[in-house]
Structure 1
Amino acid sequence: MARPAFRFAPSPNGLLHLGHARSALLNDAMARAAGRRLLLRIEDIDPARCRPDFEAAIFEDLAWLGLEWEAPVRRQSEHFADYESALARLEALGLVYASFESRGEIRRAVAERPGWPSDPDGAPLFPFSRDMSSPETRAQRRAAGEPYALRLDMKQAATLTGPLDWQEIDAAGGAARRIAADPRAWGDVILARKEVPTSYHLAVVVDDALQGITHVVRGADLKAATSVHRVLQALLGLPAPLYTHHALLLDAEGRKLSKSIGSQGLDALRAQGVTPDEVRRQALGKAFADMTGRCRNIHVTGTE
C-alpha cells in the first residue's frame, strides 16, 4: 500500500493570502495524521505572471507558518518534457486538435449566440460547432506558426473512457464517497498553447502521478475541475488520488479571497505583528478549529 502523500501547489504569480494558508495548513494537518508526507510543488507554467520574488515569498510564508515539506521541490517549468510526453500520447489517440480562435473571436462568437452555455468556470463552452476546419488545414496553420491552442476532443474522450467518478473525503477523514464526473460540462478544454506546452489540467495530473500523490486537498473552487482530471487520468493510465475540496474563505463582500482582487497577503499580516497561531485560527476558522484532533482516519484504500 502506498504511503499517504499530500501536496500544496501554489503558483508564484502573487502573494499567499489566508485562503492559501487554509489549504496549506489542512494539507499539513492531514499529512501529519496520515504519516507525514507533505510535498511542495511550484506551479509556474505561466512565464508572463510567475516571478522569482513571489516564489521566494511562498517559501518564507510557509516556513513562518511552521510548515515543513520534502525535498526536492518540484517546479513545473523544469518538467515541460513530462507534459509534452503525456500530450503526445493523447495526440496519438486522435484526441487532440489545434484551434486558432483568439479570445476576442470567441467573445464575438458568443455575443452572436445568445444563451450559449458556459463551462463551470464561466468561460464559453467550446467548440461552437462541429464544422471546424479539416485536420489537414489545422496542421498547415500550426506548421505556419499561427498562434493556437491544443484542445481535448471531450466528446470523443468521454466516449472512450466511459463513465467516471472520484472518491471524496472531508477534512476530518472517514469513508470516501463517490462523486460522478461530468467532463462534458467543460467542453474541449485547452491542454497546451503554442507558447506553453501544457495547461493546468494536464500538468496537475501528470505531476500528481509522478510525485505519488495519494490525497489532493484543495479549495472547493477546483472541485468541478476534478471531472477533467479524471478523464485525463483514465486516458493516460494514471492513478486517481482521493480528493478533499474544502470550503473557501470569503472577504467582507462575500468574494473568495484571491490574488486578482488584491486580498491581503500573509506578508502584510506578518508585518502588522500577527502571529502564526493567529493566522492559523483565522485561516482554519471555527469549522476546522479542532480538525487536527479529528484527522484520524486518513486512508488510501480504494485509490485507483
Structure 2
Amino acid sequence: MNCLKAAFSVFGGMILLSGCVDMPHPFGDPGPEGRRLALTTPPPRLAVPTPPDSLLDNTASAFWAREVATQLVDQALPAVAQPAKTGDWWLRLSATMQGNEVTPHYIVMMPNGEARGHWDAAPIPASVWAQGQKPVLTSLAAASAPQISAVLTGIQAAMMQADPHSLKRRPAKVYFKGVRGAPGDGNVSLARAFVASFPDQHDKLQNTAKDADYSVEGVVTLSDGPAGTTGHPVQHIEIAWRTVAADGKEAGAATQLHDIEAHSLDGPWGDVAMVAASEAAGGVHQIITNYSGRDHKPLPPETAAIKK
C-alpha cells in the first residue's frame, strides 16, 4: 500500500456558526489595539432593545425585538432582547415611512453611542406593517438575521485588521502535541510528516504550548472490519486531527477515514504517513482560517448619513 486515499472532511468549530463558519467570534477579544480603537471589548452578547420608533405599537415593537434576537441566536450569535446597558454593543431597530411603504432599519451601535454597521430590509406596504402581525415580523426577522450577521462579521474583521496582534496581521502560533493510537511506527511517522508539511505563511509551529493560538493533536483509531469474501479481512482506520483554540474550545477536527488490509500498517508507514499528514495540514489550516475569521472582509467606516 503506497498511499492512503483518505476520505477527508473538515468539521467547523463555534458556533456561533454553521458549516464553514461564516460568522466566527463576532464578540471575540480584538486584542489591545483593537480594544483601544473600539473603546471597549465587545461583550459576550448583543442587546436588542424594544425600538421606540418602529411605527408599531408597544406590543408589536417588543415582539419584533424578541424575534430578531431569537433569529440571531439561531445564527449562533449571542443576542438578547433587553435594554442596552452601559458598555453594551446593541442593535438599534427602527422603521421609516416613505410614500406607502415602510423600511425597517438595523444599526449596530458601539458602547460609545456611535453606529458601526447598518442594514436596511426590503420595504413593506405600510398597511401591512401597521397591523404588526406576528407572522410578518417573524418572517422579517428571519430574513434579516443573515444580513445582520454579515454586518457583524465585517465589524469583527475590521477590528482584527486594526489589531497588529490579530491573525489578520501575523501567522497563527500552533503547538503540535503529536500523534497517538497509531499501529506500527505511525505515531512517529505521522508526527514527523505533519511537522514537515504544516508550516506556511499563515500558520507556524512552535515547541511549547505557551502563548500558542491553537494546539493540534492527531488521534488514530483502528477497528476490525468484515472478513471479506476473498479471505482478506480489512480494518477501518480513522485519523482525527483535533484543533483546539487557546480558550480551550475545539475549533474543528480534520478527519481521515479509510479501509485498509488488516494489519498492513502494523510496521513502517512510509509514504502513507506523508500523504495523510499533507492532507491533514491543509485541513488544519482551513479550520484555523474559518475559526479565526482572518479571511473575512472588514466593514468599511460608517458614513455620516447613517449616524442618526
TM-score computed with the length of structure 2 as normaliser: 0.22
Structure having greater relative contact order (Cα 8 Å, sep ≥ 6)? 1
Larger radius of gyration: 2
Bigger fraction of residues in strand: 2
